[in-house]
Amino acid sequence: MSGGVVKREEMTVISKVWNDMHGRGDVLLSCAKSLKDLRLDYIDLYFVHWPFSNYHAPGCPGDSRNPDSRPFGAERYLAAWRQMERLVDTGLVRAIGMSNMTVPKLEAVLPSCRIKPAAAEMELHPCFQQPELFEYCVKKGIQPIGFCPMGSPARPDRDKTPGDCVDMRDPVIVKIAEAHNAHPASICVKWAVQRGQIPIPFSVKEGNYVSNLRCAAEDPLTPEEMDEIKAADKNCRLIKGQVFLWPGAKGWEDLWDINGSITK
C-alpha cells in the first residue's frame, strides 16, 4: 500500500478474537492489538474464533485439557458478541462473523444479535461438506467461509487421528483432477467456489496463491462432477477441537452438538 501498488479499499483484511479474549473489554483490546500489528485503521471482517472461552496453550498436545474450560453458554457468547457489535459501531471493524458454530448454537444466539454475522467460518472440504450447517447459513444470508478446503494434510499432528480422510487422494477427486489435467488441490478449490463458499487455503508461496486464484476462475467443474463430489462426502471432520473440552465431556463430539442439541 505504501508503494501505491494497491489501495486499502481494494483489500479484504480478516482477523479473529482468540478464546482468552472474550471477557468484558477484552474484545476491544484484542482488536486494538490486531490493528496495531497490521498497521491499519480498520479490519474488514472480524471473527469470534471459537464459541468457547476455553483456552489452551499454543502448541499444547492433543490430550491437553484446561480445568477451567466450560461448555458453550449462549449468554457468555453474546457478551462477547455485544463487544463485536460495538467495534462495528465505532468503525474499527466493517463486518463481524462467527467461527466453528453449529446449527443449535446459531439458533441459540442469532435472535439476540443486533448485528447479524456477515460470515460463518467452518471446516469445509469434499470429504466434510456439512450440508445442514452450510444450507442453514445460506438461508440466513450468512456467507460460509471454509477452512481446510483441501483437507489440510499439513495440519498439526495433534489434529490427526486414525481413519481421517485425505481429500486429495479420494478416488473421485483424483479421477476429476485427471479429467481436467489439474492437481487434486485445484479440484477442491473449484468445488468450493462453485458450491458458493469462500475457501481459504493456507499458503506462503506466491505460486500457490496464483494457482488457487486461477483455478477458481478457469475450467469449471461440470454439474455431473459437482454431483459426484457431493456424493463423496464422508462426514469426516479433521479439526476436532478436543483441546477445548471441559471436565466431564465425553469426547470431541460434545463440542459439535452431534445429537442436534447443545451439549452441556
CA atoms within 13 A on the CB side of 260: 1
Q: Assess contact for 41 and 35: CB atoms under 8 A.
A: yes
Our measurement of the distance from residue 196's CA atom to the centroid of its chain's CA atoms, rounded to an integer in Å, reads 14
Q: Assess contact for 197 and 144: CB atoms under 8 A.
A: yes
Q: Can you give the residue ranges of every domain in the chain?
A: 1-146+234-264, 166-233
Residue 223: predicted pLDDT: 98
Residue 170: predicted pLDDT: 96
Q: Choose among 121, 116, 95: nearest CA to 42.
A: 95
The fold adopted by the segment(s) 1-146+234-264 is: TIM Barrel (3.20.20)
Gyration radius (Cα) of the chain, Å: 19
In DSSP terms, 117 is beta-bridged to none
pTM value is: 0.94
CA atoms within 13 A on the CB side of 15: 24
Grid cell listed for 213: 486464484
Q: Choose among 173, 127, 178: nearest CA to 148.
A: 127
Residue 78: predicted pLDDT: 97
Per-residue pLDDT of the chain (264 residues; tens, 9 = 90+): 889 899 999 999 999 999 889 889 999 999 999 999 999 999 999 999 999 998 887 777 777 888 889 999 999 999 999 999 999 999 999 999 999 999 999 999 999 999 999 999 999 999 999 999 999 999 999 999 999 999 988 787 778 888 899 999 999 999 999 999 999 999 999 999 999 999 999 888 888 889 989 999 999 999 999 999 999 999 999 999 999 999 999 999 999 999 999 998
Give CA–CA dist 53/179, Å, rounded: 46
Give the dihedral sign, CA 193/198/203/207: positive
Query: What Cα–Cα distance (Å) separates residue 222 from each residue in 22, 46, 65, 180, 195?
Result: 44, 34, 45, 11, 12
Residue type, 220: P
Which residues 6+ apart lie within 8 Å of 115 measured at CB? 84, 85, 88, 96
Residue 61: predicted pLDDT: 76
Q: Choose among 36, 17, 143: nearest CA to 80.
A: 17
